[in-house]
Amino acid sequence: MKLAERMSSYEDMVGPGITACSGCNVELSMRTALQILGPNTIVAVPPGCMGGVQSVGWADKTGMKIPVFFPLLDNTASMLSGIKKYYERIGRDVNVVAFAGDGASVDAGFQALSGAAERGDNIIYICYDNEGYMNTGFQRSSSTSLGSWTSTTPVGDASHGKSSHKKDMPMIMAMHDIAYMATASPAYMPDLIRKIEKAKTIKDGLVYIHIYNSCTTGWGYPSEKSIDIVRKGVKSRFMPIYEVDHGKFKLNVDIKDPIPLMDYLSSMKKYKHLSEQQIEELQKYVDDKWKNLKTLCEVMG
Amino acid sequence: MSKKQVLNGNHAAAIGALLAKPDVVAAYPITPQTPLVEYFSQYVADGVMDSTIVEPESEHSAMSVLTGASLAGARTFTATSSQGLSLMFEPYFRASTMRLPIVMNIVNREMISPQTVWGGPQDSLTVRDAGWLQIYVEDNQEILDMNIQAFKIAEHKDVLLPINICYDGFYLSHMTEGVEVPDQEDVANFIPPYKPTHVKLDPETPMAVDPLTPGDYLQYYRELHMEAMDNAKKVIKEVNDEFAAKFGRDYFGLVEPYKMEDAEYVLVTLGSLTGSARIAVDLAREKGVKVGLVKIRCLRPFPKDEIVELLRDRKAIGVIDRNVSFGWHTGIVYQEIKSATSTLEAVPTIPFVGGLGGEDLTTDLMSEAIEKVLEVADNGSIENKAYWLINTKGR
C-alpha cells in the first residue's frame, strides 16, 4: 500500500479542536504518530505543550480516543514501564507510548528515561524537541541551543542568550544500547511515518524517537513557516536525520550540500542578536557533530 | 497449616507480601529497608514467587512504576525509608489522589540532617497528610499480619486508597522474633482478587486519567477521598475482626487499649516503643498506680472517636513521640491527640519526646514518663512544650 493510502486507512486518535497554536508542527507530529500507533495504544502526555493544549482532556472530557494520561514531568518513562510490565505479565501486546517534550525528557524526566532504557523496557518514547519550555513562555531547557534567546537566558548588555550547546539527546539515547533510536522531522513525513511504523514492530527493548520540532510563538517566525523552518534545520545539518537500529547507525537523510547555517538561524527571532563568534561556535558544533555521525554510520553501519 | 519461624521485621514483611501475591513489585534499596528488597529478589530467583519485579533507578521511579502498574490493573507492593520516601514524595501524593491501592511498607528511619540511618517515624509522620492510610505496628508478627490485611483494606471498594505499614528501622527491621506464618491457601482465600474499574488504562475501555481539572471537580474529588478515609475506619476494623476470627490474632483495629478499664493515667504510644511502655505500665500497676496505655495503630485515618472514648475522664495523659513537630515544640502524635480531645474537658496532657535517631526508649524512661504524668495530675501545671526522655545528653 502506498503511504497516502496507508495513512488514510489509519484513524485519527486525537480529538478535534485541541488548542495548539496555529502552525504548530508538534500537534501534526503527535496526530501522525498516534494515527499510526492506533487504537491498541496507551499514551502518556506529560506537562508541556501537548498536555497544555488539552490533548489529555479537560475536567471530565477526554482529549483522545485511546487511554491517555498526564504523568508527572519527571516520571513518564517509569510510569510507562509499570504499565507495560503488567500488560506483558497478563499476555497482552499493547503499545505503551510517551509523547513528551524536551523538558520532560532531556531535563526532569531524564533519569527515569535512562533507567527504563537500561532495563530494556519495551516502551515507545517519543520526544518532541522544540528546544525549551514553550507552553509556559519559552524558558530554557538543556535542549535549547547555544545563543538562543529564552525568557531565562535573555539578551542584554551582559548576556547573549544561552551560553552552552544543547544536550545531544539522540546520541545519548543511542549510547544506552536501546533496541531502536531514531530522529525525525515533520518536514520529512515519509521518513517519520516509517519510523513510527517500525517502532510498533520492536518488541525487544526501548524505542526512542526524537522529533526535531519548532515553535512559531517562542522561536519567532510566521506560523505558515513551521515546516520550512524545520526543513532548513535538516538541510543545514543542524537537525541530522538518522537511526540506530540495534546498534547499527544509518544516516537517513544525507545532506551532501548543506545550506548555510545562517539561512536557518536568520529565519527566526530567537537568534537575531547572535554575534559572529556565536555563529562560528554553532557552525563548528554542527560540523563536528555531523563528522562524528558520519563516522559512526561508516564504522557502526 | 501455619508454621512458626524466627524472622526479622524485613523478612516478616517480605513473607506477608509474598503470601498476598502482588503482580508487580518495584523497590529501590535503602537502609534499613534493603534486606526486604533482597528477600523479594531471592524469592523470584528461587521461583517461589511469580511477581513481576522491576528494578528502578530511584525511589521516585519505584513509586512511578507502581503507579503505572496499578493504573493498568495490577496489585502492587513496595517499601522504602526516610530519604527514599522524601524522594518519592511527588508520585507518593499522587498515588493517593489517583486512588491507587498500592501497599508500601515504610521502614521508619530518621530524616537527615545530621547524617543518620537509625530508627524513628519522622519520615512517614511528616507525610501524614498526603492521603495514604498509615498503620504503625509494634512487632514482627504484626508486620506480617498487617501486610496481609493491607491489601484487603486498600483494595476494598469503599476505600481504594494506598496504604503504609510503618515499622521502626532496626528495632523491628533487623531484630528477630518468633512469628507465626500463615498458610498460603488461607491467605489467598482471605484476600479477594483486585479488579479495578474506577481508574484504569486499558485500550479496551479507553479513559483519560487526570486531564486538566478545574477546582470545582477537584474539590469533589477531595471530598470523596476524605469520605474514603472515613470508610477505611470501618473497613480496617472489619478486616481486623475477620483476620482475628480466621488466624487467631486480634489487633483491635484502629487503636489498642492496654489496661485501660480502670486507668486514671494514660500513656499514648505509636510503633515499637509500645513494648517498653507496656512493661513500665505493668511495673507501675504493681505499685498500685492505675495507669493504662493506648497504642495508636492507625494514624491515617485518625481514630478520633476511639481516642475521645478512651481518654475521657482520665486524670492525666502522656503522649510519647519518637519524632518532632518543629514550630510546636512537641511531637506530632501529641498534636493529633490534642486535636482529637479538644471536645473533652481539659485533661493535663504532656508532650514527651525521645528515642530520636535510634536512641533507646528504655523501660526506665517510660517509668520516668509515668512519674511525670502523676506529678502533673497532682499539680495540674503543664508547660505545653516537649519533655525530653533522654538517657545521656549528646552535647
Per-residue model confidence (pLDDT) at position B379: 87
Please state the φ and ψ torsions of residue B323, each to the nearest 5 degrees.
-175, 170
d(CA A118, CA B60): 16
CA B271 to chain centroid: 8
What does chain B come to in residues?
A: 395
Please state the φ and ψ torsions of residue B104, each to the nearest 5 degrees.
-130, 125
Q: For residue B137, give the nearest of B12, B4, B279 by alpha carbon.
A: B12
Best residue in A13, A50, A55, A81 to probe B by mutation, most B CBs within 10 Å? A81
Q: Are strands B52-54 and B255-258 parallel, antiparallel or unpaired?
A: unpaired
Q: Which residue has the cell 533522654?
A: B390
Q: Which residue has the cell 472514648?
A: B309
Nearest-by-CA chain A residue for B62 = A78
Q: Give me the amino acid identity at B329.
A: H
Q: How many CB pairs (< 8 A) connect A and B?
A: 150
What's the average model confidence in pLDDT over B127-138? 98
Nearest-by-CA chain B residue for A38 = B203
Q: For residue B113, give the nearest of B90, B89, B82, B87 by alpha carbon.
A: B82
Nearest CB neighbour to A54, from listed B26, B69, B212: B212
Per-residue model confidence (pLDDT) at position B380: 78
- Is the distance from CB of B277 to CB of B267 less than 8 angstroms? yes
- Residue B371 class from Cβ within 10 Å (0-12 exposed, 13-18 middle, 19+ buried)? middle
Respond yes or no on whether the N-terminal peptide bond of residue B101 is cis (omega within 30° of 0). Answer: no
d(CA B228, CA B210): 19
Q: Does A136 touch chain B (CB under 8 A)?
A: no
Domain boundaries, chain A: 3-299
d(CA B323, CA B303): 20
- Is the distance from CB of B213 to CB of B222 less than 8 angstroms? no
Q: Is the pLDDT score of A17 beyond 90?
A: no
Residue B175 backbone zone (phi > 0: left; psi -120 to 50: alpha; other: beta) = beta
Per-residue pLDDT reduced to its tens digit, B28-86: 999 999 999 999 999 999 999 899 999 999 999 999 999 999 999 999 999 999 999 99
What's the average model confidence in pLDDT over A283-297? 98
d(CA B320, CA B353): 6
DSSP 8-state secondary structure symbol assigned to residue B88: T
d(CA A35, CA A39): 8
CB contact under 8 A, A78 and B61: yes
DSSP 8-state secondary structure symbol assigned to residue B273: G
Per-residue model confidence (pLDDT) at position A121: 98
Burial track B146-170 (b if 16+ CB lie within 10 A, e otherwise): bbbbbbbbbbbeebbbbbbbbbbbb
**Bridge-partner residues for B6, per DSSP?**
B178
- Is the distance from CB of A24 to CB of A49 less than 8 angstroms? yes
Please state the φ and ψ torsions of residue B100, each to the nearest 5 degrees.
-100, 120
Per-residue model confidence (pLDDT) at position B384: 84
Per-residue model confidence (pLDDT) at position A165: 98
As a whole number, the mean pLDDT across chain B is: 96
Between A42 and B346, whose confidence is greater? A42
CB contact under 8 A, B217 and A60: yes
Please state the φ and ψ torsions of residue B134, each to the nearest 5 degrees.
-130, 120
Per-residue model confidence (pLDDT) at position A34: 98
- Residue B291 class from Cβ within 10 Å (0-12 exposed, 13-18 middle, 19+ buried)? buried
Nearest-by-CA chain B residue for A86 = B69
With helix as H, strand as E and coil as C, how does chain A read? CCHHHHHHHCCCCECCCCCCCCCCHHHHHHHHHHHHHCCCEEEECCCCHHHHCCCCEECCEECECCCEECCCCCCHHHHHHHHHHHHHHCCCCCEEEEEEEHHHHHHCCHHHHHHHHHHCCCCEEEEEECCCECCCCCECCCCCCCCCCECCECEECCEECCCCCCCCHHHHHHCCCCCEEEEECCCCHHHHHHHHHHHHHCCCCCEEEEEECCCHHHHHCCHHHHHHHHHHHHHCCCCCCEEEECCEEEECCCCCCCCCHHHHHCCCHHHCCCCHHHHHHHHHHHHHHHHHHHHHHHHCC
Per-residue model confidence (pLDDT) at position B367: 98
- Is the distance from CB of B294 to CB of B258 less than 8 angstroms? yes
Per-residue model confidence (pLDDT) at position B395: 64
pLDDT band of B392, cuts 50, 70, 90:
confident
Domains B3-247 and B256-389 share a fold: yes
Nearest-by-CA chain A residue for B50 = A89
d(CA A205, CA A203): 6
DSSP B208-222: EES-B--HHHHHHHH
As a whole number, the mean pLDDT across chain A is: 97
Per-residue pLDDT reduced to its tens digit, A158-187: 999 999 999 999 999 999 999 999 999 999
Burial track A181-201 (b if 16+ CB lie within 10 A, e otherwise): bbbbbbbbbebbbbbbebbbe
For chain B, give the percent of residues with pLDDT over 90: 95
Per-residue model confidence (pLDDT) at position B39: 95
Best residue in B24, B54, B65 to probe A by mutation, most A CBs within 10 Å? B65
Residues near A124 by Cβ (< 8 Å), separated by ≥ 6? Answer: A37, A95, A96, A97, A98, A199, A200, A202, A207, A209
- Is the distance from CB of A9 to CB of A1 less than 8 angstroms? yes
DSSP 8-state secondary structure symbol assigned to residue B330: B
d(CA B277, CA A141): 55
Minimal C-alpha gap between B84 and chain A (Å): 15
- Grid cell digits, residue B2: 501455619
CB contact under 8 A, A40 and B203: yes
Q: Are strands A207-212 and A180-184 parallel, antiparallel or unpaired?
A: parallel
Per-residue model confidence (pLDDT) at position B259: 98
Q: Which residue has the cell 519518637?
A: B322
Nearest CB neighbour to A82, from listed B24, B94, B211: B24
Pick the CATH number of B3-247 from 3.40.50.300, 3.30.565.10, 2.60.40.420, 3.40.50.970: 3.40.50.970
d(CA A169, CA A209): 10
pLDDT band of A273, cuts 50, 70, 90:
very high
B256-389 folds as: Rossmann fold (3.40.50)
**Chain A, window 74-113: residues with a beta carbon less than 8 angstroms from a chain B beta carbon:** 74-75, 78-90, 94, 111-112
Nearest CB neighbour to B206, from listed A60, A61, A65: A65
Q: Give me the amino acid identity at A147.
A: G
Per-residue pLDDT reduced to its tens digit, A211-249: 999 999 999 999 999 999 999 999 999 999 999 999 999
Minimal C-alpha gap between B68 and chain A (Å): 4
Angle between helices B9-20 and B140-154 (to 10 degrees): 30
CB contact under 8 A, A111 and B71: no
d(CA A144, CA B306): 58
Domain boundaries, chain B: 3-247, 256-389
d(CA B184, CA B101): 21
CB contact under 8 A, B52 and A111: no
Which element (helix H / strand E) includes B179? strand B176-181
CA A239 to chain centroid: 11
Q: Is the pLDDT score of B1 beyond 80?
A: no
Per-residue model confidence (pLDDT) at position B346: 87
- Is the distance from CB of A30 to CB of A55 less than 8 angstroms? yes
Nearest CB neighbour to A66, from listed B24, B52, B206: B206
d(CA B156, CA B150): 10
Residues near B52 by Cβ (< 8 Å), separated by ≥ 6? Answer: A85, A86, A88, A89, B23, B24, B25, B69
Chain A environment of B211 (Cβ under 8 Å):
54, 56-63, 70
Per-residue pLDDT reduced to its tens digit, B248-268: 999 999 999 999 999 999 999
Q: Which CATH architecture has domain A3-299?
A: 3-Layer(aba) Sandwich (3.40)
Q: Is the pLDDT score of A288 beyond 80?
A: yes
Per-residue model confidence (pLDDT) at position B391: 87
